[in-house]
Amino acid sequence: MADRLDLTKCPITGIRHRAKAIIDAVATGTHPLKLGGQIMKSMEGSAISVPVGPHYRLLFTSETLRPVCFLTHEQYNKKLRNPIKQ
């Protein structure tokens, strides 16, 4: 299965492998909430955030569970300004 997100920018091989494993698990039917994800709500709508190690996050759409973003925790905080847990 081809990655839907570009994970090559992550400098840590183990984090890339973990992110790919999470994407593959969701693609085969595991819900992101079962992988430690949290539903987050922001000005841009809602998403499910799944931690990938202490400094990275994967975001999935709440409706379709498609991966939409792989980002550092710092980028995540900027993207979801003041997220509110549902």
**Are 57 and 34 contacting, i.e. CB atoms less than 8 angstroms apart?**
no
**Are 30 and 65 contacting, i.e. CB atoms less than 8 angstroms apart?**
no
Each residue of 5-39: pLDDT tens digit? 888 888 899 999 999 999 999 999 999 999 999 99
- Which residue in this structure is represented by tokens 């799944």? 50
How sure is the predictor about 48, in pLDDT bands with cuts at 50, 70 and 90?
A: very high
The pLDDT of residue 84 is above 70:
no
Q: What average pLDDT is seen over the chain?
A: 84
List the chain domain ranges.
Answer: 13-85
Each residue of 57-80: pLDDT tens digit? 999 998 899 999 899 888 877 776
Q: Which residues have CB under 8 Å from 23's CB, separation 6+?
A: 3, 4, 5, 58, 67
